[in-house]
């Protein structure tokens, strides 16, 4: 039997803009995991099982007389896509495929099934890719695991930056820029999977960052789950009609994240904190332009409390619920901050940054 794990992630800065090329974001991997185990089946049929992901509802829309199911929030779709592409790669490597049982176990969903928004679809994709490769004894670099996972995930979700995949594969703190999605779509039509996996992907940049000593990351959960794919659908639908403001948003976000990256390379916590606040303002403007709620009142509360204690805070990811993050230093009374969060219905999540040991 093989068992592998992949961590969840949080966005620190650069959300939404990172969907476009040449717009960096900063992410961090956290020590909450999706684990996938595979063992050879004892019969001619295999089993795919997940306790947390037993589905009891689906989203759908009507398109004429057709009921179209929205499967993007269904983790099983990601598991099946990861199996399909990874097995295709193994086949191209001349490997004989077999029948197995695959078990998935996720920390990324709370006991009552609510998602913290730590990117469980990305982590389950990465963990499945890694487990299948290991099961078939295929050595793979992080670069290959990232690319296989990004293809598997993108084929289901269609609209993500795959930054969450990068965080789950590489761990730690990272600066990320997405690849050219039109290029990938075209390659998938015309090239073998092995060829695509060995190519340099235009636009893609992944760099590990070293956090300054003394910098603390705090995470608060709004207790409201949010759907990233539905929010991104809305902003994608709007971007042509607000072209000018959209480009202004991309440029401002790019400058902000680049300065934040400079804060990491020069170990300047104040510069990082300053840019967290700038990014919050940029995202608030973007939300009002798109008529979407990113910073819901519960997240504003979370941020206001953190700011009272001299922490720099913002929403994390697509917003509308899920988590907020705080960058703090020794000037922040962390335990008092967390107490006030709890009093206001915000749950502090005591996760640590997950860095890979190899």
Whose Cβ is closer to ligand PMV: residue 128's or residue 227's?
Answer: 227
Q: Which residues of 191-204 are buried (b: 16+ CB within 10 A; e: fewer)?
A: eebeebbeeebebb
Footprint of Mg ion on 136-195 (CB under 5 A): none
Q: How far is the CB of 230 from ligand PMV (least distance, A)?
A: 11
Cβ pair 185, 202 in contact under 8 A: no
* Residues 107-126 as x/- pattern, contact with Mg ion by CB under 5 A: ----------x---------
- How many residues are there in the chain? 358
Residue 222 found at the interface with ligand PMV (CB under 6 A): no
Closest-by-Cβ residue to ligand PMV is 317
Only one of the segments 131-139, 161-169, 189-197, 253-261 lies at the binding site for ligand PMV (rule: CB under 6 A); that segment is 161-169
C-beta of 212 vs 317, nearer to ligand PMV: 317
Among 106, 125, 161, 279, binds ligand PMV (CB under 6 A): 161
Among 282, 318, 327, 328, binds Mg ion (CB under 5 A): 318
Q: Give the separation between CA 213 and CA 228, rounded to whole angstroms.
A: 32
> Which residue among 7, 75, 220, 317 contacts Mg ion (CB under 5 A)?
317
Find which of Mg ion, ligand PMV, none residue 218 binds, CB within 5 to 8 Å per kind.
none
Binders of ligand PMV among residues 278 to 317 (CB under 6 A) are 317
Q: What does the radius of gyration of the chain's CA atoms come to, in whole angstroms?
A: 20
**Which of 163, 171, 212, 324 touches ligand PMV (CB under 6 A)?**
163
What sign has the CA pseudo-torsion 128, 132, 135, 138? negative
Identify the residue among 6, 18, 150, 313 touching ligand PMV (CB under 6 A). 18
Given a contact cutoff of 8 angstroms between Cβ atoms, the answer to whether 309 and 330 are in contact is no
161 binds, among Mg ion, ligand PMV, none (CB under 5 to 8 A by kind): ligand PMV
Of 15 and 109, the one with the shorter C-beta distance to ligand PMV is 15
Q: Contact at 8 Å (CB) between 28 and 53?
A: no
The nearest distance, CB 125 to Mg ion, in angstroms, is 16
* Nearest to ligand PMV of 132, 232 (CB atom): 232
Q: Quick check: 16 binds ligand PMV (CB under 6 A)?
A: yes
Piece of the chain touching ligand PMV by CB under 6 A; list 12-20, 193-201, 270-278, 295-303: 12-20
42-101 binders of ligand PMV (CB under 6 A) = none
Instruction: Between 149 and 161, name the residue whose CB sits nearer to ligand PMV.
Output: 161
Phi and psi (nearest 5°) for 329?
-140, -160
Which range of residues in 105-113, 136-144, 176-184, 313-321 is near Mg ion by CB under 5 A?
A: 313-321
Q: Which residues bind Mg ion (CB under 5 A)?
A: 117, 226, 228, 317-318, 322
Q: Which residues bind ligand PMV (CB under 6 A)?
A: 11, 15-16, 18-19, 117, 119, 160-161, 163-164, 228, 232, 317-318, 322
């Amino acid at each position: 039997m093989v068992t592998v794990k992949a961590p969840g992630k949080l966005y620190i800065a650069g959300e939404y803009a990172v969907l476009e090329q040449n717009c960096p974001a900063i992410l961090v991997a956290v020590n909450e995991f999706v684990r996938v185990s595979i063992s050879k089946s004892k019969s001619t049929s295999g089993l795919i099982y997940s306790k947390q992901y037993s589905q009891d509802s689906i989203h759908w829309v009507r398109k004429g007389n057709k009921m179209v199911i929205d499967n993007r929030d269904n983790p099983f779709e990601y598991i099946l896509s990861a199996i399909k592409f990874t097995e295709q790669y193994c086949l191209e490597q001349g490997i004989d495929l077999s029948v197995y049982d695959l078990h998935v176990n996720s920390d990324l969903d709370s006991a009552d099934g609510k998602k913290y928004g730590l990117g469980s679809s990305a982590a389950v994709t990465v963990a499945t890719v890694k487990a299948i490769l290991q099961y078939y004894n295929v050595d793979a670099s992080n670069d290959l695991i990232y690319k296989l996972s990004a293809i598997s995930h993108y084929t289901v979700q269609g609209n993500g930056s795959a930054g969450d995949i990068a965080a789950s594969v590489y761990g730690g703190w990272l600066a990320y820029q997405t690849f050219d999605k039109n290029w990938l779509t075209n390659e998938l039509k015309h090239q073998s999977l092995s060829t695509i996996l060995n190519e340099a992907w235009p636009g893609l940049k992944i760099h590990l960052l070293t956090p300054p000593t003394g910098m603390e990351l705090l995470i608060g959960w709004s207790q409201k789950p949010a759907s990233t794919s539905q929010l991104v659908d809305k902003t994608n639908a709007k971007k042509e009609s607000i072209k000018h403001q959209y480009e202004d948003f991309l440029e401002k976000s790019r400058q902000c994240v680049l300065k934040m990256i400079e804060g990491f390379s020069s170990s300047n916590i104040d510069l990082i904190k300053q840019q967290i606040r700038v990014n919050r303002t940029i995202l608030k403007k973007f939300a009002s332009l798109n008529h979407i709620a990113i910073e819901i009142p519960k997240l504003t509360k979370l941020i206001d409390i953190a700011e009272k204690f001299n922490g720099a805070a913002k929403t994390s990811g697509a917003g509308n619920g899920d988590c907020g993050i705080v960058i703090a230093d020794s000037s922040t009374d962390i335990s008092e901050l967390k107490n006030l969060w709890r009093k206001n219905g915000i749950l502090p999540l005591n996760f640590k940054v997950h860095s890979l040991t190899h």
